[in-house]
Structure 1
Amino acid sequence: MSIDSQTLRTTILARRDALSLVEQTEKSEKITDALLKLPEMEQASTVFAYVHFRSEVQTIPFLRKCIQQGKTVTVPVTLVREKKLRAIRITDPDTDLEPGYCGIPEPIPELCRTMDTDPASIDVVVVPGSVFDRRGGRLGYGGGYYDRFLFNDARRALRVALAYERQLVETIELQPHDQLMDRLITEKTIYSWTRE
């Protein structure tokens, strides 16, 4: 008998939310340090990464380091009507972001007008999510935004998900539109898969 996606999401997100802020910060540092050391990340020119919200693996320090390394750093803007993500370049996470869709930090409107980035140029996409499995499967938050972005816009990019080990389950029942990850980095290890 399989558990439905929404129940699984709720259960695993409660587990993630149970981490203290100190634990989140410590684990996030380990995770993003490992991300920065990936050979594909070291070679990447353009990175697309989520801006963390609530108890997600923290990404702001990672974004800063990428900018310091001279990489083009893009973050998502949610286009609700179109059910799409746009890649917008930022140069300073402290001044370039404000609360956007559902309170999630997004680039300020001025950048949305001037710093649009072609998703085909993205080398690495750093993906959030609620639940992950040991086959590269991912459950997001139910909107399908990242699945569509990965399938339609950033097809050639390496897909790297960040999560705490407590967000892993053995198997997720995937839908045909669900996109698989190439890597999953937790505070304990890096999981790698080869997409067909």
Structure 2
Amino acid sequence: MPEDLVAAKQALRAEIRERRRTIPAHERDADTAAITEHLQHLVAARGVKRLSCYLATPTEPETRPFLSWAYDNGIEVLLPVTRNDGLLDWAVANNTDDENVGLYGLPEPTGDLLGPIAINSVDLIVVPASAVDQRGVRMGWGRGYFDKTLGSMGKRPPVYAIVFDSELVDELPREVHDQPVTGVVTPSALITF
């Protein structure tokens, strides 16, 4: 992998992290409400019964209101649990405020682990991202967990990334291992590529 590509992605991630830290609380609340509404529409339109999502970190677009809605509507949600070997385990969301602190300080669910292949039974995958471009190229945070998971699936359901409006860009640097997404959810749009 060319060093300039790695450096470009690292610089872009740092810029996005800083921009996310400065979003005012009232804007973040409005963004959360809009993203939740888009996700609800996506789930209803696709008739989703089981999906995977994630617990957002403090600077990511918030997912917990959507997760509560899914739980209240009888939709089973699998949440990722990071492993030292670079794979993801999965646990069923239980609609409690109980969370564990996983690798890298990430919030993770409590509950029994289902193993890495549990994701093969979902109807929709919702993933975090630092940015997404108009071609469906997703840039994560550089650890490769979701790229490995998506790349290992023989038949995968639609995959949507959640980002803030400014993080849907024209073009991102892409490496061979970067897995594309089906669409993106931002506060102002639900886009299928």
**Superposition pairs for residues 88-107 of structure 1, below 5 Å?**
88-95=91-98, 97-107=99-109
Q: 1:35 aligns with which of 39, 44, 59?
A: 39
Please, which of 24, 46, 51 is the counterpart of residue 28 of structure 2? 24
Shift of 1:98: 2.0
- Structure 1 stretches of 4+ moved >2 Å: 39-42
Amino acid at match of 2:23: L
CA distance in 2, matches of 1:87, 1:154: 18
| Runs of 5+ consecutive residues of structure 2 not aligned to the other structure | none
Q: Deviations over 1:88-117 (max 9, x none)?
A: 11222313x222222211122xx235x557
Counterpart amino acid of residue 144 in structure 1: G
**Closer, same or farther: CA 87–41 of 1 in aligned 2, 3 Å:** farther
Distance 1:93 1:102, change over 3 A: farther
User: Cα deviations across residues 44-71 of structure 1 (Å, max 9, x unaligned)?
Assistant: 1111101000210100111111011111
Corresponding residue for 1:63? 67
Aligned residue number for residue 10 of structure 2: 6
Checking the alignment, whether the CA contact within 8 Å between 2:78 and 2:119 is kept in structure 1 is: no
CA displacement at 1:4 relative to structure 2: 0.9
Q: CA deviation at 1:79?
A: 0.5
Offset, 1:174: 0.6
Give the Cα–Cα distance (whole angstroms) in 2 for the partners of residues 153 and 86 of structure 1: 14
Shift in Å, 1:40: 6.1
Residue 47 in structure 1 maps to residue 43 in structure 2: no
Which amino acid is 1:184 matched to? Answer: V
Mapped to 2, the partners of 1:59 and 1:39 lie a distance apart of 14
The CA distance in 1 between the partners of 2:29 and 2:96, in whole Å, is: 17
Match of 2:77 among 70, 73, 76: 73
Superposition TM-score, scaled by structure 1 size: 0.88
Q: Deviations over 1:112-138 (max 9, x none)?
A: 35x557211011111111121111111
Rounded Cα–Cα distance in structure 2 between residues aligned with 1:155 and 1:94: 33
Q: Which residue of 1 aligns with 2:90?
A: 87
Q: Give 3-state SS (helix, strand or coil) of 2:132's partner.
A: strand
Q: What is the identity, as a one-letter code, of the residue corresponding to 2:183?
A: R
Shift of the 143–61 alpha-carbon distance from structure 1 to 2, 3 Å rule, reads: same
User: Structure 2 CA distance, aligned partners of 1:112 and 1:79?
Assistant: 14
Provide the identity percentage: 28
The match for 1:132 is: 132
Scaled by the length of structure 2, the TM-score of the pair is: 0.89
Q: Which amino acid aligns with 2:94?
A: T
- 2:12 partner amino acid: L
User: Residues 172-191 of structure 1 correspond to what in structure 2 (within 5 A)?
Assistant: 172-191=172-191
The structure-2 alpha-carbon separation of the partners of 1:161 and 1:154, relative to structure 1 and needing over 3 Å to count, comes to farther
CA shift, 1:165, in A, is: 0.6
